[in-house]
Amino acid sequence: MVLDSDTVLVAGKAGEPAATQLAAFLRPASGLNLAIVPSPGQDGTVIALAQDKGMADFGPEGYRLEVTPKKVTLSAPTQAGLFYAIQTLRQLLPPLIFSARPVTNVAWRIPCLTIKDRPRFGWRGLMLDTGHDFQHVPFIFRFIDLMALHKFNILHWHITDLGTFPLEIRNYPKLQDPATLGTRMRGEPKRGVKPGRYTQAEVREVVQYAAACHITVVPEIDMPGHSTPALIAYPQFDCPVPHRTGEWDRWEYCVGNEKTYGFLQDVLSQVIELFPSPFIHIGCDECPKDHWKKCPVCQAKMKAESLRNENELQSYFVRRIEEFLNSRGRRLIGWDEILEGGIAPNAAVMAWRVEKQAAAIAAKAGHDVVMAATSHLYFDYPETTTPLEKVYSFEPAPPGLTPEQAHHILGAQAQMWTDNHPTEKEIERLVYPRACAVSEVVWSPADPRDYCGFVQRLSVHAERLAALGIDFDTPAGKTG
């Protein structure tokens, strides 16, 4: 079928939002202003979009796409499914359809075929770290656009870390004071943390924009460690013990102090208002606990609560935060350190330390798990360390689980940490094309997995990404 100025989009009320999105996707490159009509006329080709609740066996994100010489039909039981049908349709058109500028002399031809498709996993994510280095809002919108094209549905926004706390929190204006930037402690003027702030209005826009792309933004406020900027801003939540000279890394809140819980609940209440995500991520990675050992307030809390060591103190802290989140109807997710000292009852685990078998331990104990393996899915590492083929070879389901236990593996995600202060362009080059491999790992069936086939398809996909301004060498040769 060929798309031209006589093509119409046919949609009833339920198909209309998707049809509007499709028209907007096609407009910049094709210059076509496709009309959306309730029923087709006599002439011209047709793209019909229909939400069909009877297709429940396609699952909440599956779809059907049929192309014949005169008609494309997109159908799905849900809006998300229709959105993914649209993403596939875009990829069936010539790659220049992704150009932001009008393209002439291209026939917008779509091959005749039928596709029935649904994802393997419900958690298909990318993590973006704005806590080591600030990223501008337009960049985050573009990050979301690229995710949508690859059918990712979770943006794990690692908002705060030891570099910066960029999220506006009412009543705590000092969190974004440039003096709170973690790098202040490092004496590292070359490529330090950029100061920046996301207003709550901007965050709402990001969340809404992502939702229109069927992407849930899972916010992370890292605690009790990795909290340097908040503790420089509000030292009353720090342990009353001296810091070592030059020590800047991963400062931890004083979790013996009740006022710390008040502060974190204030922060999390506002996070809950901003982010409708069922999961709220509280980090909990790499908390040094050194200060807790020396802190009279933390030690008194351990005694009062009969906690035998600092790991148990961390668990106590996580349980209290979990109770708070559960009381607000949300679920806690944390890095796999939340297993140490005893995991909170309803917590989900983000497994990054494959060597610790964290995923299998958590799944066997009945906890939901998201795979975020450092070995395969850390995109701050260069391709020499974590090459495309290795990423593609990642299998989210750890071995040795019963089907019931394997059900707890929600999916997987790649992490884009910004400790090394990459520019926004560098971030895109680190993420793509490796994210293309992850998107296939989490969407497609485990078997067969065909790296050669992937590489062949990637050389066409590279033309799409080139049209979007991302150039890279594919294993099959330079394109774009």
SS3 256: coil
When the beta carbons of 6 and 286 are compared against ligand ACM, the nearer one is 286
In angstroms, give the least distance from the CB of 246 to ligand ACM.
Answer: 21
When the beta carbons of 286 and 383 are compared against ligand ACM, the nearer one is 286
SS3 410: strand
- Write out 269-294 in H/E/C secondary structure: HHHHHHCCCCEEEEECCCCCCHHHHH
In angstroms, give the least distance from the CB of 307 to ligand ACM.
Answer: 24
Among the options 61, 117, 161, 340, which is catalytic? 161
Residue 18 binds which entry of ligand ACM, Zn ion, none, CB below 5-8 Å type-dependent: none
Is there a contact between 271 and 221 (Cβ–Cβ < 8 Å)?
A: yes
Distance CA 423, CA 187 (A): 20
Distance CA 66, CA 82 (A): 13
When the beta carbons of 15 and 283 are compared against ligand ACM, the nearer one is 283
Is position 226 annotated as part of the catalytic site?
yes
In angstroms, give the least distance from the CB of 131 to Zn ion.
Answer: 22
Distance CA 378, CA 415 (A): 5
Q: Quickly tell me which residue has 């991302």 as its tokens.
A: 470
Residue 302 binds which entry of ligand ACM, Zn ion, none, CB below 5-8 Å type-dependent: none
Instruction: Please report the beta strands in 367-465, taking only residues with DSSP state E, as ranges in sequence order.
Output: 369-371, 409-416
Residue 286 binds which entry of ligand ACM, Zn ion, none, CB below 5-8 Å type-dependent: ligand ACM
In angstroms, give the least distance from the CB of 352 to ligand ACM.
Answer: 5
SS3 297: helix
In the structure encoding, which two tokens stand for residue 118, read together? 């649904």
286 scored as a contact of ligand ACM (CB under 6 A): yes
Query: What residue ranges bind Zn ion (CB under 5 A)?
Result: 239, 254, 256, 295, 297-298
471 scored as a contact of ligand ACM (CB under 6 A): no
Q: Please, which contacts does 108-113 make with residues 24 or more away whose CB atoms are closer than 8 Å?
A: 108/2, 108/3, 108/4, 108/26, 108/30, 108/32, 109/1, 109/2, 109/3, 110/1, 110/2, 110/3, 110/67, 110/72, 111/67, 112/1, 112/67, 112/68, 112/69, 113/65, 113/66, 113/67
Residue 336 binds which entry of ligand ACM, Zn ion, none, CB below 5-8 Å type-dependent: none
Say how many residues touch ligand ACM, by CB under 6 A.
4
When the beta carbons of 202 and 286 are compared against ligand ACM, the nearer one is 286
With CB under 6 A as the contact rule, the residue among 352, 381, 432, 472 that binds ligand ACM is 352
Distance, C-alpha 188 to centroid of its chain: 29
Residue 343 binds which entry of Zn ion, ligand ACM, none, CB below 5-8 Å type-dependent: none
When the beta carbons of 285 and 428 are compared against ligand ACM, the nearer one is 285
Residue 295 binds which entry of Zn ion, ligand ACM, none, CB below 5-8 Å type-dependent: Zn ion
In angstroms, give the least distance from the CB of 285 to ligand ACM.
Answer: 4
Is position 161 annotated as part of the catalytic site?
yes
Among the options 150, 158, 214, 226, which is catalytic? 226
Is position 281 annotated as part of the catalytic site?
no
DSSP 413: E
335 scored as a contact of ligand ACM (CB under 6 A): yes
Distance CA 344, CA 362 (A): 11
When the beta carbons of 286 and 312 are compared against ligand ACM, the nearer one is 286
Distance CA 353, CA 335 (A): 9
When the beta carbons of 352 and 379 are compared against ligand ACM, the nearer one is 352
285 scored as a contact of ligand ACM (CB under 6 A): yes
> Per-residue x/- mask for ligand ACM, residues 226 to 265, rule CB under 6 A?
----------------------------------------
Among the options 177, 286, 424, 463, which is catalytic? 286
SS3 388: helix
380 scored as a contact of ligand ACM (CB under 6 A): no
Q: Which residues are catalytic?
A: 161, 226, 286
Contacts with ligand ACM by CB under 6 A lie at: 285-286, 335, 352
